Amino acid sequence: MSAPVEARTTAWPAAARLLARWLDRRERVDELLESLGGSLTGTERARCQHLVFGAIRHFGRIDAAIGRLVSHSPRFATRAVLLVAGFELIEARAERGGAPTRASEAGTTNAPDQPTPVVDGRVAKIVHHAVEQTKQLASPAEARMVNAVVRKLAGVLAEPPPPKLAPADVLAEYFSHPVWLVRSWLAQFGAAATRALLEWNQQPAPVYARWRSSFAEPAEDKLSVAAPTEGNPVPVEAAKAAPKAEEPVPAWFKPTAWAGFFEIPPGHWTEIEPLLQRGRIYLQDPATRIPVELLAPAAGELVLDGCAAPGGKSLLIADSMRQGRLVAMDLPGARIGRLKENLARVPAGVEVALVQGDLRQDPAGLLREHKLPAQFPAVLLDVPCSNTGVMRHRVDVKWRLQEGDFRKHPLQQLALLRAAARLVAPGGRLVYSTCSIDTEENEHVVQEFLAGARPGEWKLENHQISRPWEAGHDGGAAFLLRKNTAPS
């Protein structure tokens, strides 16, 4: 639900400034938001994020509309203002159930120097606010241009969705996706599924929390040792307190079809924050459960998470076992901090070791060097990928992806899969997973791995493909591979 325009005096210009940076440098959205620091209150920050996410989610459609209304591309600061205003116009129309305003009824038949008349009160406020912000962020001359363009945008952005069988370029513009990606999906999934996927990606992502029935509250000093030197494993000591007595799930948590996962309604951050800090909940999409369920870690088992950061699936593995031993491995880097924080929250009965190193560069030697097992009965490999299954959450992914990524990623993924396979004990199991919906990163990688393995060494026992428009949560894929005890 949109906040009143008058309340946006801080969030709105902050969003426009971040979008100007994004237009200029294509910085990652999460890094842009982190740069806000403590400059906004919680409510203002949430509003700023909402505007930034919305403008980038609908960037292709809004920017194309702007391009039809101006003779030359505005400066980044002014273009950012138009993007925020354009998103507000889309949002306002959606909240009205798509009912036309008098501005949208006027369409775009006016001459370029004759602004479309705006009578709808909400649209008038959006126009006025964009003009006033442009005076502060750009110049009075540009504010006059913004006044004319935003009035016309109301009509252009009110155009109805394209027909079901519209060509790729029309779908790409309206649903704000790169045209090459839409063509790829049409070839893979067909017209109906691609349309459903595009519509899915354009909706804001719900917030899901996993309720942890077995957890230990982390101590302030979550780790027993200092940050590691490169390659050294870090034994992670959880608080090791006795498991907390079961407490009821808050009544305002919305149950889902997936056991243990709840949807969090807006406006509850003050109640969510202490639950997060205590480790009672973990924010993650229900799709993350799929590879862990396929792996089925058992109590007392030894498990390797080969691409562990930031640790959401590692924590889910530990919660599933309750007792056992978990080795979490990933490359040194910024995400290791998050991984350490998450591993410090494992149940008291799970022993954890964190290894920083490249899975593709003699991982068995690295494990032996630090007195860790060289092979495991259970290995999870959740590889880096294109993220095409999680575009609701990562709104800038589609604008960062390039066609060449679908040639580069599978090569890296296959190398990781082959490296992880060498760490699986005879009779053990390996789950290969991605948060991609594209066959190049899923079926094709697994097929090539099996084709290159020794005859009879590996068997594909099970797999699950999650298509978000069908599953109702993020997309991805997981493949359960079994290593035979005596390959032929």
SS (H, E, C) the chain: CCCCHHHCCCHHHHHHHHHHHHHHHCCCHHHHHHCCCCCCCHHHHHHHHHHHHHHHHCHHHHHHHHHHHCCCCCCHHHHHHHHHHHHHHHHHHHHCCCCCCHHHHHCCCCCCCCCCCCCCHHHHHHHHHHHHHHHHHCCHHHHHHHHHHHHHHHHHCCCCCCCCCCCHHHHHHHCCCCHHHHHHHHHHHCHHHHHHHHHHHCCCCCEEEEECCCCCCCCCCCCCCCCCCCCCEEEECCCCCCCCCCCCCCCCCEECCCCCEEEECCCCHHHHHHHHHHCCEEECCHHHHHHHHHHCCCCCEEEEECCCCCCHHHHHHHHHHCEEEEEEEECCCCCHHHHHHHHCCCCCEEEEEEEECCCCCCHHHHHHHCCCCCCEEEEEEECCCCCCCCCCCCCCHHHHCCCCHHHHHHHHHHHHHHHHHCCEEEEEEEEEEECCCCHHHCHHHHHHHHHHCCCCCEEEEEEEEECHHHHCCCCEEEEEEEECCCCC
Q: What is the pTM of this model?
A: 0.89
Rounded distance between C-alpha atoms, residue 84 and residue 70, angstroms: 17
Environment class of 300 (CB within 10 Å of its CB; exposed 0-12, middle 13-18, buried 19+):
exposed
Q: Is 307 annotated as a binding residue?
A: yes
pLDDT at 230: 37
Strands 207-211 and 261-264: antiparallel
Q: Is 306 annotated as a binding residue?
A: no
| Token representation of residue 138 | 């750009």
Rounded distance between C-alpha atoms, residue 42 and residue 269, angstroms: 9
Amino acid type, 250: P
pLDDT in tens, 7-19: 445 899 999 999 9
Q: Is 120 annotated as a binding residue?
A: no
pLDDT at 57: 99
- Closest residue by Cα to residue 113 from 66, 159, 71: 71
| Token representation of residue 262 | 């709840």
- Closest residue by Cα to residue 330 from 305, 295, 347, 361: 305
Q: Is 362 annotated as a binding residue?
A: no
Where does residue 472 fall: left (phi above 0), alpha (psi -120 to 50 degrees), or beta otherwise? left
Q: Is 305 annotated as a binding residue?
A: no
Q: What is the largest CA-CA distance in the chain?
A: 79
Contact 123, 103 (CB under 8 A): yes
- Closest residue by Cα to residue 467 from 214, 193, 129, 58: 193
| Token representation of residue 158 | 């009110």
User: Prior bond to 160 cis, omega within 30?
Assistant: no
Strand order in the sheet with 261-264: 254-255, 261-264, 207-211, 281-283
Where does residue 80 fall: left (phi above 0), alpha (psi -120 to 50 degrees), or beta otherwise? alpha
Q: Is 312 annotated as a binding residue?
A: yes
Ranges of the chain whose pLDDT falls below 70? 1-9, 98-119, 215-245, 486-488
pLDDT at 485: 85
- Cα angle 11, 90, 185; round to 5: 110
pLDDT at 293: 98
Q: Is 382 annotated as a binding residue?
A: yes
pLDDT at 37: 87
Q: Is 330 annotated as a binding residue?
A: yes
| Token representation of residue 313 | 């699936």
Tell me if residue 48 is catalytic.
no
Contact 51, 87 (CB under 8 A): yes
pLDDT at 366: 87
Q: Is 311 annotated as a binding residue?
A: yes
Contacts of 373 (CB under 8 A, 6+ apart): 302, 327, 367
Tell me the domains of the chain and their CATH numbers. Answer: 5-160 (1.10.940.10), 164-196 (no CATH), 207-483 (3.40.50.150)
- Closest residue by Cα to residue 329 from 410, 411, 240, 420: 420
The length of the chain, given as a count of residues: 488
Rounded distance between C-alpha atoms, residue 88 and residue 189, angstroms: 32
Phi, psi dihedral angles at 168 (to 5 degrees): -60, -40
pLDDT at 244: 56
Catalytic residue selected from 15, 315, 435, 478:
435
